[in-house]
Structure 1
Amino acid sequence: MRVLIRADASIAIGSGHIARCLTLAHTLRKQQVDVQFACRQLPGHALQRLRDAGFVTHALPGHYVQEHSGADIEAALPWQEDIYALGEQLADEPTFDWLIVDHYGLDARWETAARQLTHRLMAIDDLANRPHAVDVLLDQNYSAQVLDNPYAQWVGASCQTFLGPRFALLREEFQCAAIAIKPRVERVLVNFGGFDAAHQVHATLLALKGFDDLSVDIVAGLHNPDWEALQALCAERPNWYLQALTDDFFGLMQRADLFIGAGGGTTWERAALGLPTLCISVAHNQALNARLLGQAGVHRYLGPHECVTTEQLTHAIRDLIADPAQRLSMAERSRVLVDGCGAERLANTLIGHEFFAASEQP
């Protein structure tokens, strides 16, 4: 069985699309599936990361003639150019069994054209804002689970939809026991994605300056725009530990008592561990899901990053540290949503072992 994944990473897009697709790719490969990736050569692309993980990659152009410079990450790509470039790269490849697309800039027009390359198509989406022409659609967000059929107008009647955190694409290690919720917070983990284009790591460290008794692990992301300022802050505090990337993010999460971060893919990793979280959204597509999870008591949502002041974050940290009952409640509500088996469920679907009912509850 052969699978092609079309997804991108960049400083503007972030690394979340590649991260969740890579999780699914590893799960498929364990079942002897040949998985390949097609990605654009954008600033901050993940092609070498994918090659280092042992996957065949197909490099697509970093610029298209009809592409508008400065367009946001949800802007439509010139899909004809993307399909043409993909076809050129795959000219000598046999037809794939599945093509998985995880890209806000591509829609049903691209998917329809991509049928020439594959027998079946799957889309991974978070937005429910454009038509899809696929056989399977995944939206792992809580918003997709609680809102009334958000993809009804966007997919055909024969499309199988998998909606909600039960299908979150998490690495196998997150099929684990919950962390212990201690009466006293001792260790905080700060991370706002793979690049932190919103400068939120630095803003968070400013809010933490007065908490001298806390140990703070900071995973700042590749090419963090405030790296020198972060180094200067951490140099003054021996119990603050700064790194750009880590090979043991899971271990850092297990040792943490509190997480401060964004509303992206780590949301489900935190939920699987029952890790109490202060969440600040750093992209438009994170806001709805983060707000609904906040209302459900899964984390405390402070709002979009541009609306959260240092003083507000400091007060929120102090309040949650002083409230072990709320931290325990967050942990319990989180664990109800996620069991860590989502990648296996989707892999089994693609391989054809069985179709899980999208409406099935944990």
Structure 2
Amino acid sequence: MHQVKLAENIYYLGYNDRRTHLFENIWPIPHGVSYNSYLIVDEKVALIDTVERQYIDDYLEDIDAILAGRKVDYLVINHMEPDHSGALRAIVAKYPDIILVGNKKTFGFVESFYMKPVNILEVNDNDVLELGKNKLQFQMIPMVHWPETMISYEETNKILFAGDAFGSFGTLDGGVFDDEINLDFYEEEIMRYFTNIVGKYCPHTQRAIKKLAPLDIRMIAATHGPIWRTNLDWVLSRYNKWSTYTTENGVVVVYGSMYGNTQKMAEVIARQLSERGIKDIRVYDASKTHASYIINDIFKYKAFIVGSCAYNNAMFPNVETLLTKIEHMGIKDHYLGVFGNFSWNGGGVKNLMKFAEAVKWELVYDPVEEKGALKKDKYEQCIELANAMADKLLG
């Protein structure tokens, strides 16, 4: 196997997962995902995180090939999620004297998932672990995106081992560094990784960005996706934009429709938005498109218009599932429009308004609700809803 180095004695140990369909058993990963670990070989040897358990055999073999009989002295645990700690038990079994490096919250997770840790080194902000020429400085960045999350900053080569921060969906198809790949392909996967995995914790992400700003970072090595060594601002600027809910002037229209009447309302609204000059319009059937992609576009665009038919006196189930995820994400500062349809009793729009109250986004127009087929008066109200949204976006 090729040995990939970040610096003279710092190795990349990464594995591409092209088999898993759902990341965290929730989010689609049609382009797969990588699991990245790192090995520093100095007077002391340190592993930075491990990998998902299906790669344990390859992982141990690759470590052996590099170390040629030397042992691993430290396992630095930046993040305890099992896709990064999956080989922890195997590493401890192979190197029984290894010292686990983490913060106070780390070791509770180690015990919960694997075993009671024996040899530990508890670190806090600004603590430094000297390996020889290489020195690891630690900073806590809790809730990006677990409570124990921290980063390790290698002071000699100025490498930020960032855990899940600045990560990405998508396998590394040959290229490992940002200057070896086409970033146009990865942009959507990087954003979707952020919005799906980290997006709930935008305030914590902002705190982390500010906390790490004083560090002289020359390379970012995350636990998923490419290693950033050339155009760090590409990923840093995007994380800053997304975590401040900075959006573009577009509209996401989502509907749930059984027999097509709610869909017709969505089509009218979308067409009128276009006639008003809005170019970025995304229309989704909640029964077809996974929430992963819809949430990603909600982070991208300022306006959200949602419609639901009534279903057993409630919202259409797939719309309800989506809105529960959106509410849970805590996304801020959007414009909102609401519409819907019913046949014999309401429930769709009534419950959409409960969502509106919960998210506290600005409602641009009264909810539009039709009974049965779309008729002239409600058609005109759909036009007015679209106009009200366009007015907001166009200022």
Give the number of the structure with larger relative contact order, counting CA–CA contacts within 8 Å between residues 6 or more apart. Answer: 1
TM-score between both structures, scaled by the size of structure 2 = 0.27
TM-score between both structures, scaled by the size of structure 1 = 0.29
Give the structure with the higher percent strand.
2
